[in-house]
Amino acid sequence: MKLEYKGQENVQASPEKVWSFIQDPQKVASCLPDLKSVEIKDDKNMVATVGVAVGPVRGTFKFNIELDPRPEENKMMVRIRGGGLGSAVDLTASADIKGQDDQTTLLDWQGQATVSGPAATVGGRVLDAQARRLIETVFANMGQKMSEA
């Protein structure tokens, strides 16, 4: 099952603060909902264990997360691969980072995911709604934490 999302998050922080935040795997990991544990491999790679609930499919999923900052393009790329409970997730996301005149930053984001296994069989609308909520929560959490930094 293929899923695609896009949206925007206006962050009450300068582009410099945003770049500093998104290049820190520990800070990015702290924005994941239902985070159980995180192992930072290096400055671009981590393994996160999160609680997942999609309809009747509930459990713990493990994801390899690769951060690929591209400051010269004003873009942050993220690749997430992993799964659990017999399900697999492969997600590629990006955010264009745009400084605004009022010293805020607009994150113009998009993502595409492929889901297979039991999580994909719960039905398109249930999975779609959960995945959208997850992505929007991550960006909202990032926006809030960047504003506080």
Q: Which domains does the chain have, with CATH numbers?
A: 2-148 (3.30.530.20)
Q: What is the pLDDT of residue 26?
A: 92
Q: What is the pLDDT of residue 136?
A: 83
Per-residue model confidence as pLDDT tens digits over 114-131: 888 877 776 566 777 777
What whole-number distance in Å separates Cα of residue 148 and Cα of residue 140? 13
Given a contact cutoff of 8 angstroms between Cβ atoms, the answer to whether 140 and 10 are in contact is: no
What whole-number distance in Å separates Cα of residue 71 and Cα of residue 21? 13
And the tokens for 14?
């300068």
**Mean of all residue pLDDT scores within the chain:** 88
Per-residue model confidence as pLDDT tens digits over 37-87: 999 999 999 999 998 876 676 789 899 999 999 999 999 999 999 988 888
What whole-number distance in Å separates Cα of residue 34 and Cα of residue 130? 13
Q: What is the pLDDT of residue 43?
A: 93
